[in-house]
């Protein structure tokens, strides 16, 4: 019988954005296997109520647990905000990781002035999870949260860089930085946003530090469980990935390839129902 160490790591998101988290996890745990679930039938989560998002997250977690996983990663800022504590209690002893706490900790560590800008979806901004997480670590921190809904559409259309993406980033970020010139750290508080890192960096300017919530989450998973989770630091071969989607597997494969940084075959995406 296989031990829990041989099971895959479960990762879920409302769609393809969480594949940036999976990409970062693969870099830190290259021999580990993963099962990724994108709830593409019900995206976006960012416009849903917290109660609805919590219910969706519980259903997604249930599918992954039923298939057998050794850990769960909520690769969605909105779902992390609404459901991480709930799932940590409900899914114990399986460890559950969100993306907000690691991103908040990295922002506090990076910011010299403790003036931080969080770029996120409407749902994450309204939930206030980043502000709470940052101020739990630094009560004196000044946090500005900015919803950037067009970034999600741009990322999914593949318009990640170039003059149009940079113009939109400047339109979002420029007025905030003009009003709060002391901001020295910008959090990419949506898993879609690392795809637009170049455009966001241009708008933020060279002196501001960008915190990638996907990379910081992967670092946290590795820090806490790198020696015990399947795959460890290295292995003789790359671990396998199983892809699940609740709608449009062909589009998931096409758009998801951009986020994962490698090709996804449509035939490799299993259609599931929550």
pLDDT value at residue 38: 97
pLDDT value at residue 143: 98
pLDDT value at residue 46: 81
Residue span(s) of the chain under CATH 3.40.50.1860 come to: 4-98+216-271, 100-213
| pTM strictly above 0.75 | yes
The catalytic site residues sit at 76, 190
In the predicted structure, residue 57 carries a pLDDT above the cut 80:
yes
Contacts of 158-164 with CB under 8 Å at 24 or more apart are: 158/255, 158/258, 160/195, 160/196, 160/198, 160/199, 160/258, 161/196, 161/198, 161/199, 162/199
CATH, range 4-98+216-271: 3.40.50.1860
CATH, range 100-213: 3.40.50.1860
Is the model more confident about 17 or about 232? 17
pLDDT value at residue 93: 95
pLDDT value at residue 227: 67
Cα torsion at 183, 188, 190, 196 (round to 10°)? Answer: 120
Q: How many angstroms separate the CA atoms of 256 and 119, rounded? A: 21
Lowest mean pLDDT among 44-48, 87-91, 211-215: 44-48
Lowest mean pLDDT among 111-115, 145-149, 234-238: 234-238
Mean pLDDT, to the nearest integer, of 24-51? 92
Mean pLDDT, to the nearest integer, of 81-91? 95
Percent of residues, the chain, with pLDDT higher than 70: 94
Q: At what angle do helices 149-157 and 249-260 cross, to 10 degrees?
A: 100
pLDDT value at residue 236: 59
pLDDT value at residue 164: 93
Q: What is the mean pLDDT of the chain?
A: 92
**Strand ranges (DSSP E) for the chain?**
9-13, 34-38, 71-74, 96-97, 115-120, 142-147, 185-188, 209-212, 241-245, 269-271
In the predicted structure, residue 232 carries a pLDDT above the cut 70:
no
- pLDDT-derived band at 1 (thresholds 50, 70, 90) equals very low
Report the DSSP beta bridge partners of residue 85.
none
Mean pLDDT, to the nearest integer, of 90-104? 96
Summarize pLDDT for 173-220 with one digit per residue, the tens: 999 999 999 999 999 999 999 999 999 999 999 999 999 989 999 999
Going by C-alpha positions, the residue among 264, 236, 231, 216 that lies closest to residue 38 is 264
Is the model more confident about 52 or about 238? 52
Query: How crowded is residue 214: how many other Cβ atoms within 10 Å of its Cβ?
Result: 28
Summarize pLDDT for 112-121 with one digit per residue, the tens: 999 999 999 8
């Amino acid at each position: 019988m296989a031990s829990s160490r041989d099971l895959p790591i479960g990762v879920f998101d409302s769609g393809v954005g969480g594949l940036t988290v999976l990409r970062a996890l693969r870099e830190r745990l290259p021999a580990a296997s993963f099962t990724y679930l994108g709830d593409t039938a019900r995206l976006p989560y960012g416009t849903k109520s917290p109660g609805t998002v919590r219910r969706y997250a519980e259903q997604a977690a249930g599918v992954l647990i039923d298939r057998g996983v050794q850990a769960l990663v909520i690769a969605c800022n909105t779902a992390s905000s609404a459901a991480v504590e709930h799932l940590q209690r409900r899914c114990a002893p399986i460890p559950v990781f969100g993306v907000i706490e690691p991103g908040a900790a990295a922002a506090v560590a990076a910011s010299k002035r403790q003036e931080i800008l969080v770029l996120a979806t409407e749902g994450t901004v309204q939930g206030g999870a980043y502000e709470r997480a940052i101020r739990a670590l630094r009560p004196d921190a000044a946090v500005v949260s900015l919803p950037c809904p067009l970034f999600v559409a741009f990322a999914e259309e593949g318009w990640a860089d170039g003059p149009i993406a940079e113009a939109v980033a400047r339109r979002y970020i420029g007025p905030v930085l003009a009003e709060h010139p002391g901001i020295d750290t910008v959090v990419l508080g949506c898993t879609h946003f690392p795809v637009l890192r170049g455009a966001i960096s241009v708008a933020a300017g060279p002196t501001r530090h960008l915190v990638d919530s996907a990379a910081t989450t992967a670092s946290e998973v590795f820090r806490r469980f790198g020696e015990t989770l399947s795959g460890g630091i290295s292995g003789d071969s790359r671990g396998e990935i199983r892809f699940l989607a609740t709608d449009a597997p062909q589009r998931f494969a096409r758009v998801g390839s951009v986020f994962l940084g490698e090709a996804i075959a449509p035939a490799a995406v299993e259609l599931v129902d929550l």
